[in-house]
Every structure is written in C-alpha cells, then in structure tokens.
Amino acid sequence: MSRSQSISSQSKSLKITGEEIWKNKVEKVNSELFNLTYGSIVSQLCIDYKRDFKKVNEQLFSMGYNIGIRLIEDFLARTALPRCDTMLRTSEVISKCAFKVFLNITPTVTNWSQSQDTFSLLIDENPLSDFVELPMDAVNQLWYSNILCGVLKGALEMVQLDCDVWFISDILRGDPQTELRIKLNKVLKDEIPIGED
C-alpha cells in the first residue's frame, strides 16, 4: 500500500513540476506555427520520396532521433530531474513533464506489459495532426507523427535507456485513438556516466 501511495504522490508532484515549468519557465509560440511547419516538412518529404511512405516514415523517424538526442539536454537542463529507477517512473516523466513542457499535452500511460517494460502513450490531442487529413494512398502506410517516435528513441538513448518506439494506431488512419508504444530493450549500464551511484 505504501508503495502505491508513494508512487501516486510522486507522480502528482511530477505533474506539478511539469506544469510549473511549462507555465513559468518556457517561452511560448503559437502552436499553429509549429504544426504548419511540421505539415510542410511531411508533405515535402512525401513529394521527395515519390509517395513511398515507408521511406517517409523512416526519414521522419531519423529526423526525430536527431532532435531527441539534442532535446534531452534541454529537458534535463530545465527540469534537473533525477535518474528514473523504474520504467514506471520513466513513463510518468515522459507524459507529465516532457510532453507537457514541449507540446503542452499530457498523454495517458496505459497498457503495461506483464514485465513492466513496455507501455503505451495515448495521445488524445496530437498537436502535430491538427488540420490534417491523410490522402487515400497514405492512409494505410504513413505514420504522420512518426517524428515523435524518433524523438523519444533518441532522448531515451541519451539517458542510457535503449528502447523501441513505434505507433500502433493513429486517429488520422481512422483508428479510435492515437497510441504510441515504448518498449525498453535494456538499460545500457556501461554507458551510465560514472559518478552516479
């Protein structure tokens, strides 16, 4: 009982941390600017790759990865959160702090695997996909927000969590919800900076 209590109180304070940082410590821009810029990138990629949406997905993922490995520094400098001891904690930090600070949304964490190493993020209001309707030929192939998977993969890797990140459903494809899955492969123990106990 005390364990679940302490986890809930921790996640509550994480929520407060995330909200306070977002509110008082982060400069804001109009989200439309952000989401239209992303839209123009994706549509240009579709043209460049001649509507080969598999390649577009890959390209978005690698772009996201390159963002993630840099964005983690911003996140850590801003929050100075201590290292996560469990994946449970990691999921809370991602949804309540990271998504809040950078996208101002709080995805729901759900669908834990038995071994507590895989979970889903339900993204209710995906700010990337406002105003978007996928063309007929893209509906079953393109993961429009695939850049998010790359960002998460890159950022987690920089804090020594080797994860797989992928979409399993997207409202844009006609699914009831947008679900992003994160699976921890392993903790890269050798790469944890020495000096941390």
Partner 1 sequence: MALDSILIINKSGGLIYHRNFEDPRQPAKESDISKMNSNDYLILASTLHGVFAIATQLTPTAVQLKANSSASGSDASAREMDSVKSEEYSTVSSISNSSIASATGGAGGVSNTAKVPGPGALGPNKAAANILNQGHRHLGSVSSGKKDGNNGRAQISNLTPYIPYVGMPHNNIASGGNSSANSPMDMGSFKGDDFFKEPFVSWNTSGIRHMSTDQFTMFIYQTMTGLKFVAIKNNQVVGSPSSNTTDIVGGIHLADNLLRKVYCLYSDYVMKDPFYSLEMPIKSTTFDEKLQQMIQNMNW
Tokens in use for 161? 């969590």
Residue closer to partner 1 (CB basis): 134 or 152: 152
Q: List residues near partner 1 by CB under 8 A.
A: 9-10, 13-14, 16-17, 20, 24-28, 69-74, 76-85, 89, 158-159, 191, 193-197
Name the minimum Å distance from CB 10 to partner 1.
Answer: 6
Closest approach, Cβ 34 to partner 1, in A, equals 13
Indicate the residue among 14 and 94 with the shorter CB distance to partner 1. 14
Tell me the sheet residues that pair with 182: 119, 165
- C-alpha span between 125 and 5 (Å, rounded): 29
State in angstroms the smallest separation of the CB of 144 from partner 1.
23
Shortest Å, Cβ 82 to partner 1: 5
* CA distance linking residue 87 with residue 186, whole number of Å: 11
Between residues 136 and 194, which has the closer beta carbon with respect to partner 1?
A: 194
Residue with tokens 């392993």: 186
Spatial distance between the Cα atoms of 184 and 179, rounded to a whole number of angstroms: 17
The radius of gyration of the chain from alpha carbons, rounded to an integer in Å, stands at 17
Give whichever of 107 and 154 is closer to partner 1, judged by the CB atom.
154
- The Cβ of residue 110 has, within 10 Å, a number of other Cβ atoms equal to 12
Cβ proximity to partner 1, 80 vs 136, nearer residue: 80
Token representation of residue 146: 């695939």
Shortest distance (Å) from residue 12 CB to partner 1: 9
